[in-house]
Amino acid sequence: MQTFTIISLMDATIKDIARIVKVSYATVSRALNNKHGVKPETRKRILEEARRLNYRPNAIARGLVKKQTHSIGLVIPDITNPFYPEVARGVEDAAQEAGYSVFLCNTNWEKDRELRYIELLTSKRVDGLVIAPVSETTEALQRFLRSVPVVYVSTTSVAAHESYVTIDNVKGGYLATELLIRTGKTPVAFIGSEEDSHTLQERLEGYKQALKDYHQPVDERYVRFGNFKRETGSRFIKKMVLEGVKPKGVFGENDLLAIGIIQGAKEIGLAIPEDLAVVGFDDIPLASFPEISLTTIAQPKYEMGRYAVEILLKRIGVEDTGSFPRQRLILEPNLVRRKSA
C-alpha cells in the first residue's frame, strides 16, 4: 500500500513503460502518440501499462525536441482593469480549444516590466505572444519580438510587419460625438486619458471629424487630457464648468472616465442626461448596470481576444516565418444607447 503510493508519486516515464512491456521506448512513444505502425495488440498493452502507472507525458521533454511548447503569452497592462478580463477570457478560450496554455502577464503599465516579461517568455520558448503594449513599442522590445510570432491587440500603431486586432477607434469616436450632436447636446466636450496614447488620438480624431461634418466649431477649451482614472473624469468636468466652459454633452474616452464625469456632474447639481449627456467607450460590464446606465461605444472584447489567438495560431502553423503576411483585423465599434445620452 505504502509502496504503491510512493510509486505512483514519482512520475513514470516512457522508459519505465518500455521496460515493463518489454519493447523499445521508440515503440512506446509511437503507441502513445497514436502513430500508425504499431501492432494493435502491442499498443493495447502499452496503453494499459501507461494507465496503470498513471503516466503523464513530459511536455518539457517533448517541447525540447519538437521545439514548441504549446504555450503562448498574454501580456496586458492589468487584469484588474475591467477592460481586460474579457479579452483574456477570449484568448484563453481560443487557446484552450487548440490545446494551448496561456501565461498571464500584467505589466502594470510599466515599460520595463513589460520588457522583462517578454524576455522571460521568450526564454520559456512560448510559441507566440498576444500583447496589449503599454505604449509605443521601443527598439529593445522590437528586438525580442522578432524572435517570436506576435499579434497586438487593441493597438494599431506598430511596426509595419506585425499583425494586430483592434477596433475602429476613429469611427467609434465619430459615432459617440454624432449622437451627442444629433440629440442637440452641443457644444460637446471631449475628456480623455493620456494625450500621447494612440487610442486617444484616434478617438479624438473621430470626435473632431464629427464636429466638422456637422459644422460645429472645434474649440480647444472643450477638450482635456488627464489619465484613465475615474476621478479624473469627475475632476475635469467640475473644473470645466467652473471655468465657465459649459458643454451640454461630453464624450469620455473610456467608460471609467465617463462614469467619473457623470458622478462629478451630479455632484454639482447637473441632471443626466438633461443638463449633460455623456457617452463613454468600451462598454465595460459596469456600464450596463441600471444605476449607471451609460451610453457607450462597445468593443467586442471577447472576440478581440479570440481573433488574436486565431491569427496567432495560424501564424505559428506556418513553418516559414516571414512568408506569413501581416494580418490586420479592425472590428466595428457599436453604439449602445442607454440612459446617459
Rule CB under 7 A: is residue 166 a binding residue for DNA? no
| Distance from C-alpha of 184 to C-alpha of 178, rounded to nearest angstrom | 10
Residue 291 binds its own copies, judged by CB under 8 A: yes
How many other C-beta atoms are found inside a 10 Å radius of the C-beta of residue 323? Answer: 7
In the set 37, 290, 320, 323, which binds its own copies (CB under 8 A)?
290
Shortest Cβ 236–its own copies spacing (Å): 17
CA–CA gap between residue 188 and residue 269 (Å, rounded): 19
Least Cβ distance, residue 20 to DNA (angstroms): 12
R_g of the chain, CA atoms, integer Å? 26
14 binds DNA (CB under 7 A): yes
Residues in binding contact with DNA, number by CB under 7 A: 32
Q: Which of 30, 32, 75, 86 binds its own copies (CB under 8 A)?
A: 86
Exactly one of 88, 153, 158, 180 binds its own copies (CB under 8 A); that residue is 88
Is residue 29 within the footprint of DNA (CB under 7 A)?
Answer: yes
Applying the rule CB under 7 A, the residues between 31 and 70 that interact with DNA are 32-33, 36-40, 42-43, 55-58, 60-62, 64-67
Residue from 206, 172, 165 nearest 335 by CA? 172
- Cα(73)–Cα(2) distance, rounded to whole angstroms? 41
CB atoms < 10 A from the CB of 140, how many?
13
How far is C-alpha 306 from the chain's CA centre? Answer: 9
Nearest to 88 by CA among 99, 100, 75, 69: 75
For residue 148 the three cell numbers come to 517570436
Query: Whose Cβ is closer to DNA: residue 40's or residue 244's?
Result: 40
Cβ atoms of 289 and 321 within 8 Å: the answer is no
Q: Which residues contact 213 (CB under 8 A, 6 or more apart)?
A: 178
56 or 229: CB nearest DNA = 56
Binding string to its own copies for residues 242 to 271, with x set by CB under 8 A, is what? Answer: -----------------x---x--------
Nearer to its own copies among residue 143 and residue 337 (C-beta): 143
- Give residues in contact with DNA (CB under 7 A): 11, 13-15, 22-27, 29-30, 32-33, 36-40, 42-43, 55-58, 60-62, 64-67
